[in-house]
Structure 1
Amino acid sequence: MRYLLSLLSIFFLNCITKDATPVFKPVPIPVKEVVVEDLNKPWSIAFLSEEIALVSEKNGDLVKVNLTYQTKTSIKGFPSDLKDSIGAVDFGDNAGIFDVLIDPNYNQNKRIFIAYAAEKPNIGSTTKFISARLANDSLTDIQTILVAAPFTQDNFHYGGGMAIGTDQKLYLTVGERLYWENDEPTTPIAQDLNDPRGKMHRFNLDGSIPKDNPLIGKGAIASIYAYGIRNAQGIALNPSTQSLWFTEHGTIQGDELNLLQSGGNYGWPSRTTGKLRSKTYKPPVLADSSVVEPVWYWQHTVAPTGLCFYTGTTFPQWTNSLFVPGLSRGSLWRFKLDEDVPISAEELFLDSRARSRKIAQSPAGKLYLLTDEENGKIIEIKPKTNEL
């Protein structure tokens, strides 16, 4: 007993000595700081370095942004079939420039990937994915990867998300493009394997189709990797598990987080965690075993967008968390995960909501949030500094 008391005395003395290592470290308090503004509804950000990034403006241009000097330069040579040529869109029109992504071998080949709404005059628009070389602030050597025809007059739910998996394949999201379920054909668009809409597509980085893509059905488009998806804008790699996660927009509620499965049917419009807009629409019945269930869904409308797995150390309490911004209510969600299972969820910055299209991590582990506004902003989430 005397020995135990002696050990305890030494422990407490060490804790209060000048050179003692603190037992507990203070948890950094996150705050928002505007880094760049005056962006026209920024949709995506891709880092060329810690200081320089490419930002797609949904209603504007593809721009190169200097995060230190707060300058932006428009990238020249964008394809002329961009809807409305300069990306100007009416209220409620989802068209514009979507995701921008850097090739893993960018330092050697200078290639980037871009998704946008392409237009055929007097016919309509659809989602298009291209690759291009970036040289002297211009796009060159533009190559088409996917045109999700048919072109239609519907201006909704293009999708437009992109990610590169650990398999070094390019994954693309295409929305089903409808607003009302009553407009569905007999075989719903997202369930039709001869229609590229409402699907997840998988390509090699050179734009060819991988030989190991799933054989989903007779006559299926060869690039289809998964289907039954209403409108997925965000897709991201979980570096801990090497799995791909994607967000999905529901109608009346029904917003979801999903794990991507090869050949998976995600059920839309026959299965949803929300309600259909068209009350009289009766979708075809699917077998329960044929549907991939979401790993998470909300009981209210969130409109989740470009998600991000945080691997930085600035906020150790957040390391390996999943972040999901939302357009509705300007929400920002953090999910604590056990492998690929959400075990808790919290909504951040309740007193400073911002309609947000993307959250992304820089090469050095900084967190940036893009606000979906005409005076759009790049906001850094950083630790609060002590004020003396």
Structure 2
Amino acid sequence: MIFGSIWPAWAEPPRVDPSLYRVVTEIEGLERPWSLAFLPDGRRLITEAVGRLRVVGSDGTLDPTPVGGLPPIYAAGQGGLMDVAVDPDFPETGRIFLTFLHGDAEANNVRLVSARLQDGTLQDMRVLFTATPKAGASNHGSRIAFLPDDTLVLSLGDGFDRREDAQNRANTLGKVVRLNRDGSIPPDNPLVHRPGTAPEVLTLGHRNVQGIALDPTDGSLLITEHGPRGGDELNRLVPGGNYGWPLASGGVDYSFARVTPFASLPGFEAPLLEWTPSIAPAGLAVYEGRLFPQWRGALLVPALVEKAVRLVHRQDGGITGQELLLAEFGERMRDVRVAPDGSIQVLTDGIDGRLLRLLPPS
């Protein structure tokens, strides 16, 4: 069992010795890159929040022409084109999944679609899910993860100024939802038969989940989510669980006041880790590659405010410590993925983002 603990961000963890890895800059000049995914043939997909899907060839070169056929995308604030995920059955289906903001400045929310990627365009696009209700502010981000039972999960923000809706079971703001890959609702969802509850809901009480990963040690889902100025969390998802936002949180609001006087309350799931002040965790990966055997089983958490990737070490089900990767670059880290070859690949944030590849020193 992992015991919950507060990890103060001001107590900066030690930095990983840069001599233990080398960094290759593969791509530069990306405009607000958000997510990275790997295709079976060695190509990679990168989303840019401004509304472009890019292809990096198996030779490491960026195709100058974005993928065609994308749906209309509302790009504003923190939103736009967000996650990209490759169907586990891609060799048979040719399908990828995308999340993005759908709507306009008055009313928008996250939409999930799938489409076949063929000859540089998206074809046979299917709208699988649209979060409800639409909010006036640009919504927080979303991530996709596939489960072994052929379902998928999708994280959804709380609408920023509609935080109380994270506790409203009737809608999908501030939730993680579980769907079949065709967008239908699995009949064994934990709250599917509860009156007044949206049947898609897997868990509730979230603020802004921007990292989600399947833990290979036990098959559970791990998430990272932003607090405002504090109260960032690492959580293990329990089907049907309530994670407290905004009633129970260590979060510090943008006014510097506590979001709530209650750091915990009965009936709410406690975080495995909490970071205050905020490090702004923007993704999550579990390292299971072969190139860095000393990090196997560790969590990789890219942080925007902290401008590093947190390496969260684990042993025998417990968290044993944290270190900072790439802190020497001083750049906002947006996404991190473990490539099939075991390299660690990182997207930096901003209007001139980069794709970095971490390899052993020799």
Fold in common (TM above 0.5): yes
Output one character per residue of 1:118-168: Cα deviation in whole Å (capped at 9) or x when no partner: 114x632111111111111111111112111222320242x3111012232
Task: Determine whether 1:259 maps to 2:251.
Answer: no
- Contact 2:101–2:139 (CA under 8 A) maintained in structure 1: no
Q: Distance in 2 between matches of 1:155 and 1:285?
A: 28
Structure 1 residues 50 and 327, CA, compared in 2 at 3 Å: closer, same or farther?
farther
Q: What is the deviation of 1:250?
A: 0.3
Q: 1:366 offset after TM fit, Å? A: 1.5
1:29 match: 20
Is there any run of 5+ residues in structure 2 with no aligned partner, and where? 1-17
1:296 equivalenced with 2:273 (yes/no) = yes
CA contact under 8 A between 1:40 and 1:60: conserved in structure 2? Answer: no
| 1:370 aligned partner | 347
Deviation at 1:280, TM superposition (A): 8.0
Aligned AA (1:236): A
CA distance in 1, matches of 2:52, 2:255: 35
Q: State the distance in 1 between where 2:86 and 2:61 align.
A: 21
Q: Is contact 1:241-1:339 (8 Å) kept?
A: no
Instruction: Provide structure 1 residue ranges, at least 5 long, that are not aligned to the other structure.
Output: 1-26
Deviations 1:227-282 (A, max 9, x none): 00001011011112211110110012101100011000000001112223467898
Report which structure shows greater RCO (CA 8 Å, sep ≥6): 2
Aligned CA RMSD, in angstroms, stands at 2.3
Deviation at 1:95?
Answer: 1.5
Q: What does 1:116-127 align with in structure 2 at a 5 Å threshold?
A: 116-120=100-104, 123-127=106-110
- Between the aligned partners of 1:340 and 1:165, the Cα distance in structure 2 is 21
Quick one: distance in 1 between partners of 2:360 and 2:290? 11
Q: Following the alignment from structure 2 to structure 1, what is the Cα–Cα distance between the partners of residues 263 and 360? A: 48
User: Which of 318, 325, 328 does residue 341 from structure 1 map onto?
Assistant: 318
8 A Cα contact 1:198 1:228, kept in partner: yes
Give the C-alpha shift of residue 331 in structure 1.
1.7
Secondary structure, counterpart of 2:279 in structure 1: coil
What is aligned with 1:137? 120
> Which one of 49, 68, 75 corresponds to residue 76 of structure 1?
68
Query: Alignment partner for residue 149 of structure 1, among 124, 127, 132?
Result: 132
State which of 56, 59, 74 in structure 1 corresponds to 2:47: 56
TM-score, L = length of structure 2: 0.89
Moved more, 273-282 or 343-352: 273-282
Matches within 5 A, 1:156-305: 156-157=139-140, 159-179=141-161, 188-215=164-191, 217-277=194-254, 288-305=265-282
What does residue 98 of structure 1 align with? Answer: 82
Hey, what's the Cα distance between the residues in 2 that align with 1:31 and 1:279? 39
- Structure 2 vs 1, CA of residues 104 and 347 (structure 1 numbering), >3 Å: closer, same or farther? same
| 3-state SS in 2 of match to 1:79 | coil
CA drift at 1:28: 7.5
Query: In structure 1, how many angstroms separate the alpha carbons of the residues matched to 2:22 and 2:134?
Result: 43
- For residues 170 and 261 of structure 2, the distance between their equivalents in structure 1, rounded to whole angstroms, comes to 17
Change (3 A) 1:249 1:280: closer
- Corresponding residue pairs, total: 343
Question: What's the offset of the Cα at 1:342?
Answer: 1.6
**Residues 251 and 258 in structure 2, CA contact (< 8 A), matched pair in contact too:** no
- SS of corresponding position for 1:234: strand
1:111 aligns with 2:95: yes
Contact kept, 8 Å, 1:49 with 1:363, in 2: the verdict is no
Contact kept, 8 Å, 1:50 with 1:364, in 2: the verdict is no
Q: Secondary structure at the match of 1:317?
A: helix
- TM, length-normalised to structure 1: 0.83
**Equivalence for 1:383:** 360
2:106/2:137 contact within 8 Å kept: no
User: Residue 9 of structure 2 corresponds to which residue in structure 1?
Assistant: none
Which residues in structure 2 correspond to 1:290-329 (within 5 Å)?
290-329=267-306
CA distance in 2, matches of 1:31, 1:287: 42
Q: Write the letter of the residue equivalent to 1:34.
A: T
Aligned-residue sequence identity (percent) comes to 33
| Structure 1 letter corresponding to 2:358 | I
Q: Distance in 2 between matches of 1:282 and 1:146?
A: 31
